[in-house]
Amino acid sequence: MLNFEFKNPTKILFGKGQIAQIATEIPAQSKVLLLYGGGSIKKNGIYEQVKEATRGFEVVEFGGIPANPEYEVLLRAIKVIKEEGITFMLAVGGGSVIDGTKFLSSAALYQGESPWDILSKRIRTEQGLPFGTVLTIPATGSEMNSGAVITRSETQEKLGMGGPGLFPQFSILDPQVVASIPQRQLANGITDAFTHVLEQYMTYPAGALLQDRLSESIMLTLVEIAPKILADPSDYEAASNFMWSCTMALNGLIQKGVPTDWAVHSMGHELTAFFGIDHARTLAIIAPNHYRYNFEKKKEKLAQYAERVWSVGQGTIEEKARLAIEKTENFFRSLEIETKLSAYTASYEGTAEKIAQNFRSRGWTGLGERKDLKPEDVEEIVKMSY
Amino acid sequence: MLNFEFKNPTKILFGKGQIAQIATEIPAQSKVLLLYGGGSIKKNGIYEQVKEATRGFEVVEFGGIPANPEYEVLLRAIKVIKEEGITFMLAVGGGSVIDGTKFLSSAALYQGESPWDILSKRIRTEQGLPFGTVLTIPATGSEMNSGAVITRSETQEKLGMGGPGLFPQFSILDPQVVASIPQRQLANGITDAFTHVLEQYMTYPAGALLQDRLSESIMLTLVEIAPKILADPSDYEAASNFMWSCTMALNGLIQKGVPTDWAVHSMGHELTAFFGIDHARTLAIIAPNHYRYNFEKKKEKLAQYAERVWSVGQGTIEEKARLAIEKTENFFRSLEIETKLSAYTASYEGTAEKIAQNFRSRGWTGLGERKDLKPEDVEEIVKMSY
């Protein structure tokens, strides 16, 4: 097991009717900026519950944060925060709204020239403007971690940021919200969470027996609830396990003491920046081929995963490992997620070269758990994914 | 899944050489009370490492906190805290030293008549004197939770306390300390952590699929590492998984969203108060018979545990559940832990009646996940354990 530090101070309020708790979690006298996305919360009743719960506060609203939270939109929100003297933010939405709010949390207190520095210069946020969240789409885990990914369409960039100042003060997880999520987003959420676990697990054995089993627990649960959720998103048992699994997949716990990969995300982000493909779907396109390409380096963990998650009992390590990749790809397909780039765009030719070039131009440090993947390797993996 | 709230702000520093980090974790200018137990830290080198790491601080020492931290001893420590103007405490030890420090954290700021009130009147600690820990014996999980158990030998009482003010600011977990722990305490630690998981798991199915699997992960890991740890406590891979499993067994995570039992602990604490039997051993005496006595109420979970932790593939729910109890008792015995009260004391007659009477006199509310166990039931379970 590798050395690690772990601290996650976010308070989780999980279950039916927890939205009403907002009133006691936001500091008294706060001037609140209520942030949300395209307005689905006005159709499913969540907006009304939040308004009711925040009645005692002065609340300014900022809606319209798009999927893949867009830098230009967020710049407008910074203006509102400063003009209105906002002291607390409440993000009501999925990962995009919460990630956007994290950027605002950092940018509102940033003293440098341009808030884009936070992303381009990888400035760690030690302290941010405090915020809470009401999660409406389980997927990214952003509700209980200190990371965010921001998109700038002007430059076709999608970059990450983070730091201990960016944990939500609280996050409200009411699984009843799952009932009104469209099938497409349910499938995305399951795929996103599952791939988050893979990125922290599918490396090489590092003697972290407990962490391996915790990761397998989340994957086993997602595999178990996936068909139930898609068949009936109002199934509370399935919805609550779906929601808590997504949070646990990326709240820092399972990555502690183990090597982590994240190459699938690095490549996937590029596909979203180029083609606007849903984040989760880019992961499903890249992950199986990433594992095929790096088969020798990852086969021990692939075989263990085959045994414990997919109950593969027979065969050599290589046979089990190969089967594991097939099972993973089939799992994504069972969610009606296409796993080839060509299923999403006709103009995929040249993508691999462009991504490799982007990586080169950003100052290449090597991808994957061994930091040994070069732009040429990325180019091959993306080509395998056409 | 049941509704829950979860917040655990303790910072964990895990791994080789982490004791040196103390210097950066204790607030500057602190006047530190260094607390420890019987002095084993002076033999295994930990005391020297801690002294070296705290060189920049004014440090007062208070050693001699006994196993089952004793109220009378702790009263003397409160006097030191007040006379010396202590602003930060550093607990270096196992669960007893850490639990004792938690009592001091609460008592140092307590305004009422007698600090015993905190225990006898179950006063929740919202704010305590801040403290950190250096864990030297994996077992209780006290290093990452907000609970403590204090013993008062004068009245043969062993009572619990807690509250959000009692989380350690930080805890240092260096698995290298395991190498110098005697076999008896290693066996105790494994048994204690394993039973902690059982108390939060062995109830009835509540639709918390993920939490069940997380609990099973910890138990599977403990079963896997137990023989390795006893054979060679300097095996770092086994030691690190042992240490992190003990912490994860009682840091609040696996109890969220599920019913919990804790009747085994309630009965076990009485055996320690009467006979001075090691805490973990009292759990091994009581747990199997508690499950036999409450078989009908717990058989579904017992059977699931048989399948997933002990790989029992065949049989009815009842057959699997019965086998699960046997496997558990055999596991404790494999650690050279006796599972009958009569193996520890010749004067066990009348114990069951006395424990039942104690519970009656403290204002009975019912034990177990359904709060339906009466003093008569406790009497039966303890008698089965003779």
Whether B121 and B205 map to the same domain: the answer is no
B1, B9, B10 ranked by CB distance to A240: nearest: B1
Strands A157-162 and B147-152: unpaired
Whether B151 and B201 map to the same domain: the answer is no
Which residues have CB under 8 Å from A42's CB, separation 6+?
none
For residues B152 and B117, what is the distance between their CA atoms, to the nearest angstrom? 13
For residues A54 and A60, what is the distance between their CA atoms, to the nearest angstrom? 11
In a domain, B4, yes or no: no
In a domain, A27, yes or no: yes
What string of pLDDT tens digits covers the 386 residues of chain B?
999 999 999 999 999 999 999 999 999 999 999 999 988 899 989 999 999 999 999 999 999 999 889 999 999 999 999 999 999 999 999 999 999 999 999 999 999 999 999 999 999 999 999 999 999 999 999 999 999 999 998 887 888 999 999 999 999 999 999 999 999 999 999 999 999 999 999 999 999 999 999 999 999 999 999 999 999 999 999 999 999 999 999 999 999 999 999 999 999 989 998 999 999 999 999 999 999 999 999 999 999 999 999 999 999 999 999 999 999 999 999 999 999 999 999 999 999 999 999 999 987 779 999 999 999 999 999 999 99
Whether B243 and B375 map to the same domain: the answer is yes
- Chain A's closest residue to B247, CA to CA, is A210
CA-CA-CA-CA torsion sign (A39, A42, A46, A50): positive
Contact at CB, A210 and B216, closer than 8 angstroms:
no
B3, B13, B175 ranked by CB distance to A5: nearest: B13
Contact at CB, B7 and A5, closer than 8 angstroms:
no
In a domain, A3, yes or no: no
What 3 state SS string does chain A have? CCCEEEEEEEEEEECCCHHHHHHHHCCCCCEEEEECCCCHHHCCCHHHHHHHHCCCCEEEEECCCCCCCEHHHHHHHHHHHHHHCCCEEEEEECHHHHHHHHHHHHHCCCCCCCCCHHHHCCCCCCCCCCEEEEECCCCCCHHHCCEEEEEEHHHCEEEEEECHHHCCCEEEECHHHHHHCCHHHHHHHHHHHHHHHHHHHCCCCCCCHHHHHHHHHHHHHHHHHHHHHHHCCCCHHHHHHHHHHHHHHCCCHHHCCCCCCCHHHHHHHHHHHHHCCCHHHHHHHHHHHHHHHCHHHHHHHHHHHHHHHHCCCCCCHHHHHHHHHHHHHHHHHHCCCCCCHHHCCCCCCCHHHHHHHHHHHCCCCCECCCCCECHHHHHHHHHHCC
Q: How far is A50 from chain B (nearest CA, A)?
A: 19
Whether B190 and B68 map to the same domain: the answer is no
Whether A296 and A212 map to the same domain: the answer is yes
pLDDT band at A101 (very low <50, low <70, confident <90, very high): very high
B210, B217, B244 ranked by CB distance to A244: nearest: B210
Contact at CB, B225 and A209, closer than 8 angstroms:
yes
- Chain A interface residues (partner B, CB cutoff 8 A): 1-18, 175, 207-211, 213-214, 216-218, 220-221, 224-225, 236-237, 240-241, 244-245, 248, 253, 256-257
Q: How far is B38 from chain A (nearest CA, A)?
A: 29
Strands A170-173 and A4-14: parallel
Whether B194 and B113 map to the same domain: the answer is no
Whether A194 and A116 map to the same domain: the answer is no
For residues A87 and B252, what is the distance between their CA atoms, to the nearest angstrom? 31
Whether A266 and A369 map to the same domain: the answer is yes
Whether B320 and B234 map to the same domain: the answer is yes
A10, A213, A256 ranked by CB distance to B221: nearest: A213
State pTM to two decimals. Answer: 0.97
CA atoms within 13 A on the CB side of B67: 14
Strands B31-35 and B157-162: unpaired
- Chain B's closest residue to A221, CA to CA, is B210
Whether B108 and B191 map to the same domain: the answer is no
B7, B225, B240 ranked by CB distance to A9: nearest: B7
Contact at CB, B241 and A209, closer than 8 angstroms:
yes
Q: Which of A143, A176, A209 is the last residue of a domain?
A: A176
For residues A369 and A204, what is the distance between their CA atoms, to the nearest angstrom? 8
Q: Are A230 and A292 in contact (CB under 8 A)?
A: no
Contact at CB, A1 and B240, closer than 8 angstroms:
yes
Q: Which of B176, B200, B233 is the last residue of a domain?
A: B176
pLDDT digits over A172-181, tens only? Answer: 999 999 999 9
What 3 state SS string does A46-112 have? HHHHHHHHCCCCEEEEECCCCCCCEHHHHHHHHHHHHHHCCCEEEEEECHHHHHHHHHHHHHCCCCC
Whether A236 and A360 map to the same domain: the answer is yes
- Chain A's closest residue to B4, CA to CA, is A14
Which residues of chain A does B256 touch, with a Cβ-Cβ cutoff of 8 Å?
12, 14
Contact at CB, A17 and B3, closer than 8 angstroms:
yes
Whether B116 and B239 map to the same domain: the answer is no
- Chain A's closest residue to B212, CA to CA, is A217
CATH number at residue B361: 1.20.1090.10
Distance of CA A355 to CAs A123, A148, A253, A338, A371, Å?
24, 21, 31, 20, 17
In a domain, B5, yes or no: no
Site from B169, B217, B304, B307 to mutate, A interface, most A CB atoms within 10 angstroms: B217
CB pairs under 8 A between A and B: 127
Contact at CB, A220 and B213, closer than 8 angstroms:
yes
Count of structural domains within chain A: 2
In a domain, A325, yes or no: yes
**ipTM for this prediction:** 0.96
In a domain, B3, yes or no: no
Which residues of chain B does A236 touch, with a Cβ-Cβ cutoff of 8 Å?
1, 207
SS3 B298: helix
For residues B52 and B20, what is the distance between their CA atoms, to the nearest angstrom? 8
CATH number at residue A131: 3.40.50.1970
In a domain, B70, yes or no: yes
In a domain, B92, yes or no: yes
Structural domain of residue B78, as residue ranges?
Answer: 11-176
Q: Which of A148, A176, A204 is the last residue of a domain?
A: A176
A1, A7, A217 ranked by CB distance to B237: nearest: A1
A16, A213, A214 ranked by CB distance to B3: nearest: A16
